[in-house]
Structure 1
């Protein structure tokens, strides 16, 4: 999957390897060597719609103060893919591959900045005021980790001197690790800062909303969801793709394809898991009963602590609870075309469009991305510069290199140094092709 267009630039290289499967399983038929071995690779990305690179450097405020400024809903994605050992081979018209991966994802989805600031600040505000809050969507705080063992098969369907068509599919066995979700659906209410002793305290009142609180058992008393990247086998996913090449004497004039990826779901299955739907009903505040004191959450260290804090108030009513948590993978449709402009110079166009709805409580998030990447490619050396428009962070521009089997790069390093980009990412890996 490419939740944030991971490995941008290198995965569309004409030096096809195991990494190309992440774009389209049909690309495996284009392996440049009979065998391909992946030793390691990783990609990590953080993007948001609030904090620019210059903000972090020039501001004396902490990240919470920066991200909850203004009135625009907060969207933040922290995303990582880690490839373990992998192997691929070609045999006649067939190609086969085995991959291992781990995923780490953390998200804020359409979070009201005034509500987020009040929860973070608690009773540190110096201003007495009131604010009306209203949203027409499901605000979410979500985190997921899981592992994957993938098996890919691709076949050359037709080939002559000028044209080549390939098809491919991947079946992926999923190993759920950790999961946490807080969803606040169609929230509206009133936020009051009132005196509590000598300092103003944030109170929430006039609320009637639906609340989902879910977590896997390993997060019941912990906030570190990265401790478990691989759980037990409990899920399956499929990828499908087709590929076309307009050939020339060296390689191709055009390489294009479409794919649908991550059709499937994870199941977190444990008697100590918890996924509960609540009704949160807080009456309009009065002088004697101002509402829910948000400073109660300042010492919360886990999602279960937050749930227990709410259960200790008279405002929460349980509707439905279960221990099996089913989570949809971030299904996406992707399409790309790689053009040879002149000898050794290529330009790739890529787009990824999500199929799921990020506001659903059981949906792992993804982003819509469109990118263009000019690339200068030799047999043992490659340099490229991906430029993209991302749904969350806007425009990004980066730079990357491949030297033999070693590759590294960033899809945002140029805009980070020259403008106020809202994304930071880096990837690196090593693979070996064998005749």
Structure 2
């Protein structure tokens, strides 16, 4: 298990890149495929009659503990990540847009898109447990744990093909209303989950090691599929099996209102659906965890662990686990359903400002659930036609306030939602995205 935390720290330190993918450019009034992934009702508003997406990617990390200024600190990153008493939350999130095509025809718009995702999450992890596992020289007195939340360590990779259509429903000289839908065909790749809830216990120090006991039984979910059955510390394992077999469907539905060339507003519900993981390595089991005072768990046993089956075997060998139900060889994982709304307003010719809100509808702490952050952003922009520049100001539920920078030059775009904050302040987030699409006619 210690290797798991070290792997996470290496991502935080070496890939300080977050989770509002394509912040700023996805709500540009130069409407293209990126806009339609946020709201399929934007399809009839395509700036060009045809658009081909060549490539696009966004990669990010956000957390609530380690800031950019900590890179100059002599303190170990393990200590920084698990400092304080508040639960640790961290996200690593990659979004890749593959080849796609969109077109506008009369009052209709259509699109074909391909995407891939890789996610790695820590949700509400107790910092005391993290310290006890990662710090070989931990010195502490008896520490009481009482965390009813579900502490999750989870990873997911999957691909999708999207088929979208949008149509203008009403139009006059001043107003336009449109609606759109997207059907997503899902290809689940890999999955892992360690979910520990209702933990009421004690950590004690003895002879240089930390020991855990439970005052009452806790609930434990262990699940894995695909490459993550063998290891969850190597990010390459996520990318090797992003596209699995066709085993899931999801959908988006959206609405759009356009007032002359002054205001553009949209509302969409995205990722309504789930995917089923089917693999010969599949495993999903709910346990009761009970560690008596007479036989405490030595947390140093997890020092060299790098997969969930090893964690499970250690707990089983010491008779700490009892099954609540039979193991599952097939299981469903829900996508992160969100409500998205935005308003883009022209202040003066060529100068615009966009307000964007993303609100998740599901609970990140639930097992068999892909996570999503709550986000609100304000983005002022200058659009000169061939060139567009913008400064997204984002309020992220995990990492706080961040300021970024981005630009579009023709069909090429490059940006970040956190660079400015990282340079002048104490950002706990970093991200980078870029891509190229070609619109014509």
Q: TM-score range by the shorter chain?
A: over 0.9
| Aligned Cα root-mean-square deviation (Å) | 1.2
What SS does structure 2 have at the residue aligned with 1:244?
A: strand
Q: 2:241 aligned with 1:232, yes or no?
A: no
What SS does structure 2 have at the residue aligned with 1:28?
A: helix
Among residues 301, 310, 315, which one is paired with 2:320 in the alignment?
315
- 2:221 paired residue number: 212
Which runs of no fewer than 5 residues in structure 1 stay unpaired?
Answer: none
How far did 1:271 drift? 3.9
User: How far apart, CA to CA, are the structure 2 residues paired with 1:221 and 1:407?
Assistant: 37
Contact 1:45–1:423 (CA<8 Å) still a contact in 2? yes
How far did 1:4 drift? 2.4
How far did 1:63 drift? 2.6
How far did 1:128 drift? 5.0
Contact 1:103–1:146 (CA<8 Å) still a contact in 2? yes
User: How far apart, CA to CA, are the structure 1 residues paired with 2:300 and 2:433?
Assistant: 39
Contact 1:412–1:423 (CA<8 Å) still a contact in 2? yes
- 1:246 paired residue number: 259
Equivalent residues, number: 418
| Correspondence list, 1:176-215, <5 A | 176-195=188-207, 200-207=208-215, 208-215=217-224
- 2:94 paired residue number: 80
| Correspondence list, 1:265-344, <5 A | 265-285=274-294, 289=295, 291-320=296-325, 321-344=327-350
How far did 1:28 drift? 1.0
Q: 2:41 aligned with 1:21, yes or no?
A: no
Among residues 344, 358, 365, which one is paired with 1:359 in the alignment?
365
Among residues 394, 399, 407, which one is paired with 2:400 in the alignment?
394
CA deviation profile, 1:65-84 (whole Å, cap 9, x unmatched)? 21111111000011110000
Which runs of no fewer than 5 residues in structure 2 stay unpaired?
Answer: 1-17
What SS does structure 1 have at the residue aligned with 2:161?
A: strand
How far did 1:239 drift? 0.2
What SS does structure 2 have at the residue aligned with 1:322?
A: coil
What SS does structure 1 have at the residue aligned with 2:281?
A: coil
Contact 2:406–2:415 (CA<8 Å) still a contact in 1? yes
User: How far apart, CA to CA, are the structure 2 residues paired with 1:60 and 1:310?
Assistant: 35
Contact 1:221–1:305 (CA<8 Å) still a contact in 2? no
- 1:110 paired residue number: 124
Contact 1:36–1:432 (CA<8 Å) still a contact in 2? yes
- 1:99 paired residue number: 113
Q: 2:154 aligned with 1:138, yes or no?
A: no
Relative distance call for 1:405 and 1:280 in structure 2 (3 A) is same
Among residues 2, 18, 21, which one is paired with 1:6 in the alignment?
21
CA deviation profile, 1:130-167 (whole Å, cap 9, x unmatched)? 11011121110011000000000000111111111111
Among residues 63, 66, 78, which one is paired with 1:64 in the alignment?
78
How far did 1:102 drift? 0.3
- 2:60 paired residue number: 45
